[in-house]
Structure 1
Amino acid sequence: MRFLLPLLLLLSAATVLLPGCEPKEDIVTTDGSARLEFSLDTVKFDTVFVTVGTVSKRLWVYNRNPRAVRVSEISVQSQPGITYSLLVNGDTGNTARDVEIRGKDSLLVLVRATIDPTPNDLKPFRLIDNLRFRTNGNEQQVKILSYGQNAYFHTRDVISRHTVWKADKPHVIFDYALVDSAVTLTIEPGARIYAHAGAALLVGGQLLVNPTYQPTGELKPDNRNFVRFQGDRREEQYANTPGQWAGIWFLSSSRNNVVRFAEIKNSAFGLLVINPRNLRPFPSVTVENATIQNISSAKQAFTNSGLTIGLEGAALLGLSGDFTVRNTLITNCEQYAVFGVQGGNYQFEYCTIANYTVQANRQTPTFLLADAIEVNGRARPAIAPRLTMRNSIVWGNGREGEELAFVNGEQYASNISISTSVLRTKKYDNTGPLGQARNGNILNPLEGQTYLFRSTPYRPRGKTFDYQLDTLSPASNKAVALPGLTTDLLNRPRLSPPDIGAFERKNP
């Protein structure tokens, strides 16, 4: 024992004199056989509008070797017409040098692309490039595949004369495109309208979407003649994301607008009439054979001529405006599907409002009308709205089964007529203030294995939802024929008796 302490001191001194031992995974190998592995063999960008950058794509680079490797260069072998940007270890550029990857470790490379305009005006075009990695004299490549698309760009455009937006190329809106008062913007069948983040189509004059299109035969939901409005992010993860753009806004001076055979999706508002001073005649919008979906709940403040109003997202929102809606599907609105306030005439015929919102805890009713609103923090004088609803469905998964609301409805009950419709409401039943169980309405019909629709978020069949009627739907054959409305949303003939909602079931 008396020799133990001197021995430990001697060993400690010897340890100090030994050379440092570097961990094996930090020692950089120069072996030419050391290669990298990648999470993808091809980095793919969906169709990108020229001059508009893509989202960043991720590529993981793996070093499976026990020792570290030094990647002498990471670069993009690009061709004329496209510009790439790489983000590696926090540094941005088109080339990164002397990047070390520890043994058994990985590196994240972010790739972003911007495509230049080309003479190819009409069809999407393909660009193939290579992302190069040079390590110990070896070169490895990962392909980059990009699809570019030329477009008409509208950046703070003021449309001051009668204009037609053609369908030969997509239209992309930045900030806004404004249809001036006393002029008309007509949008051709098959046109594609894309809006950048926060952008809006503002209508002070008249908007005509597919005004003269007359389909022949049954249409498919993806029919190429539908006019489609959505955000400009084309990547798959944005396909059904609400709130990407601001929507279509009709200003106080707007009149006699028509939206036919159209899809509006992924916006903060679908169709918004904003007439804060209650100017008459009210702006009016007719909607036929349309789909409005994926509308966000973000509350926005509008300031106009010193008036400030806060409004929440809705597929159809009228502030002193008139809506006539036929053969239309409205779904997946994080707050309201229909919100009408301070007067207005609302007419719904053969509509399906199926407001399932699985991505948001919705606390609002799907359909709400109110006679007053606060402006500059003070209540404005009440103006009673008018509602006529026939052969329509108001359904959803919010407010514990209450999807219909009339603020101060007792004051304007004589203005409300709902008939032969399917309603999810407990308040407005036989004993409620409006007595909507009369006139052939069906209230809260689902029991046991009875379903309204073919497929919903709570009864999915595949990746998409189908709001056509289920085989045993209580809405089948319960409508009353309406003059002039002989086909459904997809141009299928209405049978006798017809079905309630936007879709007519086919004969067995």
Structure 2
Amino acid sequence: MRQFTFLFIIGILIALSSCRTDFETVASTGDLKFSRDTIYLDTVFTNIGSSTYTLKVYNNSKNDITIPTIQLGKGLNSKYRMTVDGTQGNQGKIFNNVNLLAKDSVYIFVETTANIADANPTDFLYTDQILFDGGTNLQKVELVTLIQDAIFLYPQRYDDGTTESLPIGNEEIYGFFLDENDPVNGNELTFTKQKPYVIYGYAAVPSGKTVSFDPGTRVHFHANSGLILAKNASLNVNGTTSTTDKMENEVVFEGDRLEPDFFDVPGQWGAIWLTDGSTNHKINHLTIKNAAIGLLIQNNNGTTVDIKNTQIYNSSNYGILAQTAKINGENLVVNNAGLGSLACTYGGDYKFTHCTFNNNWNSSSQVAVLVNNYYTGATPEVKDLTAATFNNCIIYGSYSNEMILNKKTGSAFVYQFNNCLIKFNNDSNQYTNNPEYQFTTDPLHYNAIIQNKDPKFFKIAENKFNIDNTSAAFAKGNATYLISLDILGNTRTLPPDLGAYQNKPFPK
């Protein structure tokens, strides 16, 4: 009986305490502590919402307190908005009587959507403050955002509610054709460095037209967006050598999330798609970052795709995926791809000189270089690989074998590696009798191969593939295949180094 009475009393106490929804508080005395005194919201494009940033507010006193007001300095006119302890307040701008227990804290989440016209015209900063309490108890946390103006390109929305789209095979995709006589933007086939561009959906270059990118152009693609070259359309990227680390003359294609957390996140946007029948593509000093496929190159109408002094990083699928294409690559660097940095598939004609192909993707299915002459399920399934030539190149990565040659009979399969450093281990002897991998005894396909030696790249994680004179690639090239300047415009000496970079002492 005594035990039953005790449990009954405990139950009543629990019920009474659970019914209490308020607690006694005292007014805040201006002694709040903050996780930071200024919140820097990273650069955003005009009228594009920012990421959400966090401020933690601490009550270090022994009293439960009430903060009379938490509000933005510009009140309801502020371009910032907040959530305080999970509540929205008055339009996310003003909050009254916020309770905070002793020795406890509350989270405030802040974001913004602002126009370039809202920013200070001299530095393009948009600022405000979070104000806590008022009078002699007033405390402030500063808010700062850099607003960047841009040219926005996107599909039209029609009066009937439908949106412009592109016919791709038997399907329609979200996209639009670039217009050389656009009434707002002018010639959309000529991209300049005056402002960055932000593209929504796939921007298509019409048949028979050429899209050009001037030195210093910056193009940002939204999720599931990219660039498509139609039949008989051409791509002309005209970047030039830069003199600083800001790559001021490089053309850059990347995603539209500018926050540091998205700096090296793969798969933020779609691809640069050179479709079957597109033609006469010339790419120089282009950097492609964080796409699903950096360059998707299909049968390019018998013409050569020239890719020079170009870098492709952090592709969720492929850096370059070529299908029955014809490519000439010089001073090309491709790193980190979910499946392959370079995939030359379904036959084609390829020549790469002084190129660096590396893959450190954390997956056993990744590879730096894949070459094959088939496409499963296609008609015909096999096509001629008339040439796959690699001169003075580096093929390396984090896994045992970073090169795959997949040959199907019934079609030509012509390949040659001259003066290349290749990571290819045969620890289990499974390739000992495979005729495609006889690096030391097959002069028809392999000459002066350096196998499984560390090129000692400067900083792989930062996509810096410079080498110095301690590298296994130092002075191992053949002058017959010399490209006189490296990817940075440095003069190569003789004998040249392998890969896209001429050796230099690493910076301190």
Mapped to 2, the partners of 1:506 and 1:274 lie a distance apart of 37
**Cα 1:445–1:339, aligned 2, differ >3 Å: closer, same or farther?**
closer
The counterpart of 2:252, out of the listed 228, 233, 239, is: 228
Secondary structure of 2:117's counterpart equals: coil
1:266 paired with 2:290, answer: yes
Secondary structure of 2:26's counterpart equals: coil
How far the C-alpha of 1:465 sits from its partner, in A, is: 5.3
Matched positions, count: 460
Mapped to 2, the partners of 1:239 and 1:424 lie a distance apart of 28
Secondary structure of 2:347's counterpart equals: coil
Instruction: Report the counterpart of residue 321 of structure 1 in structure 2.
Output: 325
Between stretches 415-424 and 477-486, larger displacement belongs to: 477-486
How far the C-alpha of 1:352 sits from its partner, in A, is: 0.7
Question: TM-score, normalization: structure 1?
Answer: 0.81
| Counterpart amino acid of residue 499 in structure 2 | G
**Cα 1:33–1:117, aligned 2, differ >3 Å: closer, same or farther?**
closer
The counterpart of 1:290, out of the listed 290, 307, 310, is: 310
Mapped to 2, the partners of 1:443 and 1:475 lie a distance apart of 8
Mapped to 2, the partners of 1:411 and 1:273 lie a distance apart of 24
Structure 1 gaps, min length 5: 297-312, 458-462
Verify the 8 A CA contact 1:69 1:135 in the aligned structure 2: no
1:479 paired with 2:477, answer: yes
1:407 paired with 2:411, answer: no
**Cα 1:32–1:433, aligned 2, differ >3 Å: closer, same or farther?**
closer
Mapped to 2, the partners of 1:436 and 1:429 lie a distance apart of 11
Question: TM-score, normalization: structure 2?
Answer: 0.81
Mapped to 2, the partners of 1:321 and 1:158 lie a distance apart of 24
Between stretches 218-227 and 471-480, larger displacement belongs to: 218-227
How far the C-alpha of 1:246 sits from its partner, in A, is: 0.9
Instruction: Report the counterpart of residue 340 of structure 1 in structure 2.
Output: 344
Instruction: Report the counterpart of residue 152 of structure 1 in structure 2.
Output: 151
Mapped to 2, the partners of 1:224 and 1:476 lie a distance apart of 29
How far the C-alpha of 1:69 sits from its partner, in A, is: 2.0
1:330 paired with 2:327, answer: no
Verify the 8 A CA contact 2:218 2:253 in the aligned structure 1: yes
Instruction: Report the counterpart of residue 33 of structure 1 in structure 2.
Output: 29
- Percent identity reads 25
Pairing of 1:96-495 with structure 2 (within 5 A): 96-118=95-117, 125-134=124-133, 138-156=137-155, 157-161=176-180, 163-204=189-230, 205-210=233-238, 213=240, 215=241, 219-274=243-298, 281-282=301-302, 284-296=304-316, 313-357=317-361, 360-375=362-377, 380-385=380-385, 386-398=387-399, 401-408=400-407, 415-426=414-425, 432-434=434-436, 435-437=438-440, 438=443, 439-446=446-453, 451-456=454-459, 464=462, 466-482=464-480, 485-495=483-493
Mapped to 1, the partners of 2:353 and 2:205 lie a distance apart of 29
Verify the 8 A CA contact 1:121 1:150 in the aligned structure 2: no
Mapped to 2, the partners of 1:79 and 1:189 lie a distance apart of 43
**Cα 1:488–1:350, aligned 2, differ >3 Å: closer, same or farther?**
same
Mapped to 1, the partners of 2:330 and 2:85 lie a distance apart of 55
**Cα 1:100–1:47, aligned 2, differ >3 Å: closer, same or farther?**
same
Instruction: Report the counterpart of residue 54 of structure 1 in structure 2.
Output: 50
Give CA deviations for 1:329-356 in whole Å, capped at 9, x if unaligned.
1112222001122222121100011212
The counterpart of 2:495, out of the listed 494, 497, 500, is: 497
| Counterpart amino acid of residue 197 in structure 2 | H
| Counterpart amino acid of residue 261 in structure 2 | Q
Verify the 8 A CA contact 2:26 2:64 in the aligned structure 1: no
Give CA deviations for 1:243-274 in whole Å, capped at 9, x if unaligned.
11112111123111112112111111111124
How far the C-alpha of 1:404 sits from its partner, in A, is: 1.1
Verify the 8 A CA contact 2:78 2:93 in the aligned structure 1: no
Mapped to 2, the partners of 1:173 and 1:335 lie a distance apart of 26
Mapped to 2, the partners of 1:326 and 1:497 lie a distance apart of 17
How far the C-alpha of 1:426 sits from its partner, in A, is: 3.9
Verify the 8 A CA contact 1:124 1:149 in the aligned structure 2: no
**Cα 1:91–1:121, aligned 2, differ >3 Å: closer, same or farther?**
closer
1:95 paired with 2:114, answer: no
The counterpart of 1:66, out of the listed 55, 62, 65, is: 62
Secondary structure of 1:225's counterpart equals: coil
How far the C-alpha of 1:367 sits from its partner, in A, is: 1.0
Verify the 8 A CA contact 1:489 1:503 in the aligned structure 2: yes
**Cα 1:413–1:124, aligned 2, differ >3 Å: closer, same or farther?**
farther
How far the C-alpha of 1:485 sits from its partner, in A, is: 2.0
Mapped to 2, the partners of 1:445 and 1:355 lie a distance apart of 14
Structure 2 gaps, min length 5: 156-175, 181-186
How far the C-alpha of 1:100 sits from its partner, in A, is: 1.9
Secondary structure of 1:118's counterpart equals: helix
